[in-house]
């Protein structure tokens, strides 16, 4: 379990997807602009998220990324481990293979704590954030703007 800027980028980007899930795929260019993360870096992160089955890409015009499952099945823990796949932090991985007895003792305790932390974050899903009333409000306002600006094919489709 590791927590860095990288993890934060991944989580906030996924939140972005969850918030705008209804209007279809979100482009990385949009996320890059709205959150101030470089496009290519986002592409690296999303490559990992895709490999871990958390998102799926839609190619071509009007494409982008969307969540590959409902937002109540995607936990923060899974997002973090997807981008930071460096899992085992202690050398002996709590197995007791260290030479010194004491080192292993503290390693074991750490791994235990690490697991508690994972369980905690594995209980937090994206929809716990995206379903809040304030969030919904802002999202609707932004989605409307978005439609006016770019995708008038959506407008036509809903009008038809």
Closest distance between DNA and the C-beta of residue 24, in Å? Answer: 11
Sequence-distant (6+) residues with CB within 8 A of 50 are 56, 57
Smallest gap from residue 5 Cβ to its own copies (A): 7
Q: Which two tokens stand for residue 79?
A: 């997002």
Give 57 or 128: the residue with its C-beta nearer to DNA.
57
In the bound state with DNA, the residue whose beta carbon lies nearer, of 50 and 127, is 50
CB of 151 to DNA, least distance (A): 8
Any bridge partners for residue 159, and if so which?
none
Nearer to its own copies, 48 or 107 (CB): 107
Write the DSSP symbol of residue 66.
E
What is the rounded distance in angstroms from the CA atom of residue 17 to the CA atom of residue 21?
A: 6
How many chain residues bind its own copies (CB under 8 A)?
39
What does the alpha-carbon distance between residue 45 and residue 52 come to, in Å, rounded to a whole number?
11
Cα 82 to Cα 123: distance, rounded to the nearest angstrom = 16
Q: Which of 22, 40, 99, 160 binds DNA (CB under 7 A)?
A: 40
Tell which positions 30-69 bind its own copies, by CB under 8 A.
Answer: 33-36
* DSSP class per residue in 123-153: T-BTHHHHTSHHHHHHHHHHHHHHHHHT-HH
The site for its own copies (CB under 8 A) is made up of 1-5, 8, 11-12, 15-16, 19, 33-36, 76, 89-91, 100-103, 105-107, 109-110, 112-113, 116-117, 120-121, 124, 129, 135, 138, 142
């Amino acid at each position: 379990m590791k927590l860095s800027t990288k993890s934060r980028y991944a989580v906030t980007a996924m939140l972005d997807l969850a918030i705008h899930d209804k209007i279809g795929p979100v482009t990385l260019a949009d996320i890059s602009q709205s959150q101030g993360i470089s496009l290519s870096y986002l592409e690296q992160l999303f490559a990992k998220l895709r490999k871990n089955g958390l998102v799926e890409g839609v190619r071509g015009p009007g494409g982008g990324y969307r969540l590959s499952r409902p937002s109540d099945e995607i936990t923060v823990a899974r997002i973090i481990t997807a981008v930071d796949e460096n899992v085992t932090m202690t050398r002996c991985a709590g197995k007791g293979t260290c030479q010194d007895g004491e080192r292993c003792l503290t390693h074991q305790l750490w791994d235990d704590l690490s697991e508690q932390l994972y369980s905690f974050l594995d209980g937090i899903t994206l929809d716990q954030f995206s379903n809040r009333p304030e969030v919904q409000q802002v999202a609707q306002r932004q989605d409307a703007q978005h439609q006016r600006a770019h995708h008038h094919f959506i407008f036509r489709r809903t009008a038809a």
